[in-house]
Structure 1
Amino acid sequence: MNEFLVEITTVVPEGTPAEEVDRRRAAEAVRARELAAAGRLVRLWRPVGERRSIGVWAAADEAELRAEVLGSLPLWPWMTATVTALEPHPNDPGNRL
């Protein structure tokens, strides 16, 4: 499994009923928990004062990440994502045995 840094911005289309937004956001929370339990959503942050998210996600490759992992998010049709493949750094303090 490879890790990816993903920056996501969600823009709700104009005219979308509030009920639809609420439904998708609730489903998004459920799906995020499922992906975390499956080891696909590793960490997730929201910059202070912003509506975008930054996270570490796991998948075999970027195609799988976009199609099967991120693509399974209920808000995905309203999202834009910047994906950066990551590799371990030899000085990573989290990589100590």
Structure 2
Amino acid sequence: MIEFLVEITTAIPEGTPAEEVERRRAAEAVRAGELAATGHLARLWRPVGERRSIGVWRAADEAELREAVLGSLPMWPWMAAVVTPLEPHPNDPGTP
């Protein structure tokens, strides 16, 4: 699997009922757990004081990442993502 750095910004459409937002947020947490369990979601951070996320995601290719992985998130229709494919760096201290 290829690793991707993904920056996601969510914009909830104006006028969306609070119940719909909460329903999707709850479903999002469940789906993120499922994606972590299958190895697609490796790490996820939220910059302090911001409403966006930055994560390391894994998929066979960018099409699978966008369509099957990120596209399966309940809030995906409200999200904009910047996707950067990653490759190992020879000076990475985490590389054996």
Query: TM exceeds 0.5?
Result: yes
SS at structure 1 position matched to 2:89 = coil
Query: 1:48-97: CA deviations, max 9, x gaps?
Result: 0000000000001100000000000000000000000000001111112x
SS at structure 1 position matched to 2:4 = strand
Q: Which residue of 1 aligns with 2:16?
A: 16
Give the paired residue count: 96
SS at structure 1 position matched to 2:69 = helix
1:34 and 1:71 map into 2 onto residues whose CA distance is 14
2:66 and 2:52 map into 1 onto residues whose CA distance is 17
SS at structure 2 position matched to 1:77 = helix
Displaced runs of 4 or more, over 2 A: none
Q: CA deviation at 1:5?
A: 0.2
CA RMSD of aligned residues (A): 0.4
Q: Which residue of 2 aligns with 1:31?
A: 31
2:90 and 2:37 map into 1 onto residues whose CA distance is 27
1:83 and 1:34 map into 2 onto residues whose CA distance is 21
Unaligned runs of 5+ in 2: none
User: What percentage of aligned pairs have identical amino acids?
Assistant: 82
SS at structure 2 position matched to 1:74 = coil
Q: CA deviation at 1:17?
A: 0.2
One-letter amino acid of the structure 2 residue matched with residue 25 of structure 1: R
Q: Which residue of 1 aligns with 2:45?
A: 45
Unaligned runs of 5+ in 1: none
Q: Is the aligned partner of 1:74 residue 2:74?
A: yes
